[in-house]
Amino acid sequence: MQLGGLLGHLVPPFRPNSTTGEPTTRDTGTEATDAAHEEHVNTDDGDQGPIGATDNPEKRRSTVREIVIVVACVLLLTWVLQTFIGRQYVIPSESMEPTLHGCAGCSNDHIVIDKLAYRFGDPKPGDVVVFNAPTESWEGGWTSRRSSNVVIKGVQDGFSWFGFAPPDEYNLVKRVIATGGQTVACKNADGRGVTVDGKPLREPYIDTALQADTAAGTPTSCYGTDFGPITVPDGNVWVMGDNRLSSADSRAHITDELNGTVPVSEIRGKVRFIVFPLSRIGGMDVVNPQP
């Protein structure tokens, strides 16, 4: 989002008399009228005449000041929006299909997150969130794209503050399935799918046809291997992708120090809108899977 604009100057409808400093509209005779007329007529060679023949340094300085003030205000507003209100992200993979689209060669969804959502509340089951990789196992070999040059890196970090470059971290997008204190599990043998506190989930956002196509047959009820039971620590959440057979979510990180859970402090915001492509523009519905 770019904002801008310059403040213009109003030119007064009269010029002061060079001798008295009074407006030339106070002429009292024909001779004065003719002289005033001569003052306001430009010559063919571009001469502006006795009045206004030289630039006004104070006017130039005023214009420069106005430009600096406008640019500073735009940058400050952008920083506030990006830091405290919301930020745009691009979906890079298919792990959240069909809710969010992303794949190589596709018109990947561009989403906007709400950064205020969890300043005044906690994540709830069904929320789609963007979060920073909490452990190395989530990063999957990711390395920073920042320059090793200190000056260039500083410029890149500065661009990131204003949303002109991505943050220097590995971000992911998943759906919250369970929150602090809840126990999540899945056993293919019982055919109930994922359960939270022993109760099976209702998950209309999972495209069963897509899962069957990925599995090249009938997928298991867990859309993967058994896991759990795992009790989510307070202040953490358990997250999963809607495209279960193509998502490296909490299930894939059970052996890390957080047992696959994600600290709420690592959540960057709640997904609110899809803003691109045009055919996909719309709000993000929250579907609570827990009965």
Question: Which tokens hold the place of 59?
Answer: 């006017």
174 is catalytic: yes
Coil, strand or helix: which one is 92? Answer: coil
Of the residues 93, 95, 247, 250, which is catalytic?
Answer: 95
246 is catalytic: no
Of the residues 174, 247, 250, 270, which is catalytic?
Answer: 174
Q: Provide the residue count of the chain.
A: 291
Closest of 242, 269, 264, 276 to residue 167, by C-alpha: 269
Q: In what order do the strands lie in the sheet with 194-196?
A: 199-200, 194-196, 183-186, 227-231
Q: Name 80's Cβ contacts closer than 8 Å, sequence gap at least 6.
A: none
Interior/surface letters 153-168, b for 16+ CB within 10 angstroms, e for the rest = eeebeeebebbeeeee
Catalytically active residues are 95, 174
